[in-house]
Amino acid sequence: MKVTKKINNNVVLALTEDGSEVFVVGKGLGFQKTPFILNKSDPIIEKVFVQNDSDTERYMEIFSKIPLQTILVSEKIIEEGKKMLNSPLNDMLLLSLADHIQNAIERTNSNEELVNTLHWELKHIYPTETKIGEKAVLLVNEELSASLPKEEASFIALHFVNAQLKKGTEFSETAKVTQIIKDIVTIVKYNLKRNINEDSVNFARFITHLRYFIFRQFNNESLNEQTDLYDIVSQAATTELECVKRICLYLDNNYGWHITTDEQLYLLLHLKRLSKNT
């Protein structure tokens, strides 16, 4: 490959044989005068990052201002996350995660505390992503000699939630989904007037359903109408039906969402299961 530009002492921009631009990481690579030819099997190469042309400037910004070791640790975290989620992740995750970790380290060093008001909800709504965040905090503290608090795991978890969504999804949208779920669970607890077992399988299924339900609202998608079944179930679940109506009222008042009968039916069925599992 042909190295065309120095980003910093350890990162360079290069062109592969097929004309693709890549970022090559290796200690001291940037000291050589450009352009120069670099064999892809050269032991000096620690990592090669492939990116889309539209992301080049963003990559250059991150590589120029973030320490190499932070980027490499971020890459390790992402690889572990892919294994745990068994899911493809947005290419931009490396940029956002490395940037976040570096800022978190600087905040901690300055004794600045950033409170995540959705910490508890994230742990229940996104348990796998939260576990990734917990592992990430341990890895950062160990390999970068940092002192990130355990609460930082929930912020890192949000990055992995966002990375599973379509490219271009705003980070605030992911937080919005979490807030809506938190509010719906509060409505359910209040209206059912029961102690809900939040460690139960039925609660986990309910939370998963809410995630996809909310994404459908974002995308203006709907399920097939099943009016007859809704009528039958609602007659035998008056308490749960009232709860569904309150959820629909909350969503209409706050987000302007009109919830279809079929969506109400599935909410009703999940609430019936929760009622039996308390």
pLDDT score, position 147: 94
Residues ≥6 apart with Cβ < 8 Å to 244: 264, 267, 268, 271
- Domain definitions of the chain by residue range: 2-64, 68-163, 171-276
Residue 258 neighbours by CB distance under 10 Å: 10
pLDDT score, position 62: 81
Average pLDDT by stretches of 10, the chain with 278 residues = 88 87 87 88 85 73 86 94 88 87 94 78 86 97 95 92 70 81 93 83 90 85 70 84 96 94 92 80
- Domain 68-163 maps to which CATH number in 3.40.50.970, 3.20.20.150, 1.10.1790.10, 3.40.50.150? 1.10.1790.10
- Domain 171-276 maps to which CATH number in 3.40.50.300, 1.20.1050.10, 1.10.1790.10, 1.10.645.10? 1.10.1790.10
pLDDT score, position 170: 61
Task: Give 14's strand partners.
Answer: 3, 22
pLDDT score, position 106: 95
Residues ≥6 apart with Cβ < 8 Å to 160: 81, 85, 89, 93, 126, 129, 132, 133
pLDDT score, position 167: 57
What CATH class has 2-64?
Answer: mainly beta
pLDDT score, position 18: 85
Domains 2-64 and 68-163 share a fold: no
CA angle at residue 149 from 70 to 97, to 5 degrees?
A: 35
pLDDT score, position 2: 92
